[in-house]
Amino acid sequence: MKNIFKILVFALLGIISLNLSAQKVYSVSSKYDADVKVWVADSKYDADLVVYKCDSKYDATDNKGLWYFVDSKYDADKLVYFVDSKYDADIIIYFASSKYDAEWRNSSKKQLFY
C-alpha cells in the first residue's frame, strides 16, 4: 500500500511540474551560456514558436509562447541567445503583437522550454 501511495505522489508531482513551467527568459551575451539558441523570423509562418512579450511575469505561464524577460539570469527559467543565422538556432521564433497569437507551430521543439 505504501508503494502505491509513493508512486501516485511522484506521478502527481511530475504532472504538476510539467503544467507549471513558466516562461521567464533572460537573454545572455554568449551562446555558450544559453540553454536555447534562438533566431527571430520576419514571418510567423517561418517560426517554430510565435512569442508574445508579456509585461508581467505573472502572465508568462505554461509553455505557450508567453515570455517575460527578467533582469537577472538567476530569475530565469531559460537562458536564450539570439543568433545571427537561422542555421545556428535551436528554434525559430516570431514576436507577435498580441498574446492571443502566441502558439507553437512546431510542437516537436516544445521540449526545449521544459
If you write DSSP's letter for every residue of 43-63 in order, what string do you get? Answer: SGGG-SEEEEE-SSTTT--TT
- C-alpha span between 47 and 58 (Å, rounded): 25
Of the candidate ranges 1-10, 22-31, 84-93, 103-112, the one whose mean pLDDT is the lowest: 1-10
Report the DSSP beta bridge partners of residue 40: 93
Q: Are residues 40 and 96 in contact, defined by beta-carbon separation less than 8 angstroms? A: no
The whole-model pTM stands at 0.78
Rounding to the nearest 10 degrees, give the CA dihedral for residues 23, 48, 79, 56: -30
Taking only the tens place, the pLDDT of each residue in 89-100 is 999 999 999 999
